[in-house]
Homo-oligomer: A and B are copies of this chain.
C-alpha cells in the first residue's frame, strides 16, 4: 500500500487541491507570528524597538532564508494579495481602533482631524505628484505616464495608521495620538477615493466642474460611510439590549458583535463606500452603547478578542511586507538597484516635504480658530505630528501593487522600479523612523507636557477637577454598568459636548442602552473563575 509519500500527497490533495503551497505558507506564517509574538514580548520594554520593526525584520529574515534555500530563485511563499489585505487584515485593525479610541478626545478635535485627513492629504498628493513629475526625468526610471505620476501621489499620501498606533501611545500622548491616528483613518479614505479617481481620470478635461464633483463625491462618501457604521453599531446595541441582555449567552453576544462589525465593513465595500470609515465608526458606537449591554464576561472577552485580532493582523502585515521586500522576481526587472534606491530617496524626500506643507499651515489655522489654550497645538507638537505621520505602510504597498502590477507580474522596468521603491520607502520608514520616533517624542515633548497628557488620559478621578487647566478633555470613567449616578468631570465646559450629552441621555441611551442605562447583572463569582468545560 505504501503510505509514505504517495498517500501523503493524496492527503495533502484533500487539503489543497487549488494551491499546493497554501498549507506550507500558512504553517510558515503562523510559526513566524508565534515567533514575533515571543520576541515582541521579550523586548516590550525596550525604548527603541516596537512590534512593527520586529515583525518587518523577522519577515526580512525569513525572506532571506527562503531566498538562500531556493538558491536565489524565490523569496516568498505568498504573493502580496490586496484581497487578503483589504478583506481580512485591515477591518479588525480599524475596528479595534474605533472600539478602543478615546471618544471625547477624538470628537473634540474632529474638525482638525478632518482637515488634516482630507485637505492635508490633497496637499500632500499635489506636492508628491508634481515633485515626481519634475524629478524623475533626471533619473532613468523607464516609461511612466501621467496617470502613474498621479497614482504615485495618492500611494505616498496614504499614512500608516497601524504603525502610528504603535509609536504614539494613547495613554502617553492622547492629544497627539488622537490627531495623528484620526488623520490616518480619514486619510485612508481620501487616498482610496483619490486613487480610484485617478484610475478613471481623463487628463484632457480637468476643470472646476470636475473639482467640484470630486469634493461632492468625497463628502458623500464620508457622510454615508459614517452613517452606515453608526447605524450598524446602533442596530447591534438595540438587538442585544432587546433580545440578549441578562441571559448570559456570552458566546452569542460576542459572535454577534464581531459579525455585525465585519458586516458593516463588507456592506460599505459593496455599496462602494469607505469600509475603513464605516467600521471605525461602528467600533465607536459599539463601545459607547453595545459594550454596556452585554454581560461582564462578554465585556472582558470582546475587549481582549478585538485587541488580539488586531495585533495579529498588524503583525501579519509587517511580516508580509518584510518578506515581500526580498522578492527577487521584481528586483530582477529593475535595471539597476541604484536607480531604485535613488527613486526611493526622491519619493521619501517628497513625502517629507508634502507632509510639512500641510501639517504646519493647518495647525496654525486650527490654533487660530480655538479659544482654549489647552486645545492648541504647540510647535513642538506640530513637529511630532509631522514626523509621526511620515510612516508609510501596507495601504501604500497594496495601492502600488494595484497600479503597477495588475497581474502580479512586473515585466516593465518602470513598474518594477515603482514597486521595489514603494517597498523600500515603506520598510525604511517603518524600521528607521519607527526606531527614532519614540526617543524623539520623549525629546520633543518635555516631561511636564507628557505628564499632563498622561494625567488627562487616565479615567478622570476627582483629582482632574482640581486641575482644570491640565485637563485636555477625556472620557469620563467608563467603569462597567452599574454606576447610575455619574459624576460629570469638569471638562464638560465644551457646549457641543454638553448638548450631545443631554441628547444622548434623553433619547439615545434609553433606547440603545449604554453606561448607567442598563441594570447591573453581575456575573456569578464562579463564572469568571470557571475552568472551560
Q: Is A503 an interface position by the 8 A CB rule? A: no
Contact A312 B259 (CB under 8 A): yes
Q: Is A499 an interface position by the 8 A CB rule? A: no
Q: Output the residue of A2, A259, A532 with the most chain B CB within 10 A.
A: A532
Could you tell me the distance in whole angstroms from the C-beta of A16 to the nearest C-beta in chain B? 5
Contact A83 B16 (CB under 8 A): yes
Q: List A11-36 residues whose CB lies under 8 Å from chain B.
A: 11-19, 22-24, 26-27, 30-31, 33-34
Q: List A383-418 residues whose CB lies under 8 Å from chain B.
A: 398-399, 402, 406
Chain B contacts for A246, CB-based, 8 A: none
Q: Is A44 an interface position by the 8 A CB rule? A: yes
Contact B263 A31 (CB under 8 A): yes
Contact A34 B479 (CB under 8 A): no
Assembly CA distance A385 to B94 (angstroms): 47
Q: Is A119 an interface position by the 8 A CB rule? A: no
Q: Is A379 an interface position by the 8 A CB rule? A: no
Contact A263 B297 (CB under 8 A): no
Contact B530 A27 (CB under 8 A): no
Could you tell me the distance in whole angstroms from the C-beta of A276 to the nearest C-beta in chain B? 12
Partner of A1, one of B31, B213, B479: B213
Query: What 0/1 pattern do residues 453 to 464 of A give for CB contact below 8 A with B?
Result: 000000100000
Contact B23 A291 (CB under 8 A): no
Assembly CA distance A529 to B200 (angstroms): 50
Q: List A198-252 residues whose CB lies under 8 Å from chain B.
A: 199-202, 210, 213-214, 217, 239, 243-244, 249-252
Partner of A478, one of B42, B201, B531: B531
Chain B contacts for A83, CB-based, 8 A: 15-19, 22
| CB-CB under 8 A for A531 and B480, given A7-B272, A42-B243, A87-B22 | yes
Q: Is A6 an interface position by the 8 A CB rule? A: yes
| CB-CB under 8 A for A102 and B533, given A296-B528, A300-B297 | yes
Chain B contacts for A44, CB-based, 8 A: 249
Could you tell me the distance in whole angstroms from the C-beta of A514 to the nearest C-beta in chain B? 11
Assembly CA distance A509 to B10 (angstroms): 40
Contact B298 A259 (CB under 8 A): no
Contact B269 A478 (CB under 8 A): no
Query: What 0/1 pattern do residues 322 to 348 of A give for CB contact below 8 A with B?
Result: 000000000000000000000000000
Contact A402 B14 (CB under 8 A): yes
Contact B255 A529 (CB under 8 A): no
Partner of A82, one of B14, B19, B202, B239: B14
Find the B residue at minimum CB distance from A213.
B1
Q: Is A518 an interface position by the 8 A CB rule? A: no
Chain B contacts for A17, CB-based, 8 A: 82-83, 402, 406
Q: Is A303 an interface position by the 8 A CB rule? A: yes
Find the B residue at minimum CB distance from A249.
B41
Partner of A528, one of B99, B202, B300: B300
Q: Is A306 an interface position by the 8 A CB rule? A: yes
Contact B14 A196 (CB under 8 A): yes
Contact B23 A87 (CB under 8 A): yes
Chain B contacts for A102, CB-based, 8 A: 533
Assembly CA distance A468 to B299 (angstroms): 39
Assembly CA distance A260 to B6 (angstroms): 28
Could you tell me the distance in whole angstroms from the C-beta of A215 to the nearest C-beta in chain B? 11
Q: Is A505 an interface position by the 8 A CB rule? A: no
Having A14-B82, A34-B259, A301-B304, one finds 16 other A-B pairs with CB under 8 Å, namely: A1-B217, A7-B197, A7-B200, A22-B83, A24-B270, A27-B266, A30-B259, A34-B260, A34-B263, A170-B533, A251-B304, A255-B308, A255-B311, A301-B308, A305-B308, A482-B529
User: Which 3 A/B pairs are nearest by Cβ-Cβ distance?
Assistant: A478-B531, A8-B272, A480-B529
CB-defined A-B contacts under 8 Å, sample of 12: A1-B201, A6-B200, A7-B200, A8-B272, A13-B402, A22-B87, A27-B267, A30-B262, A30-B266, A37-B252, A38-B256, A299-B532
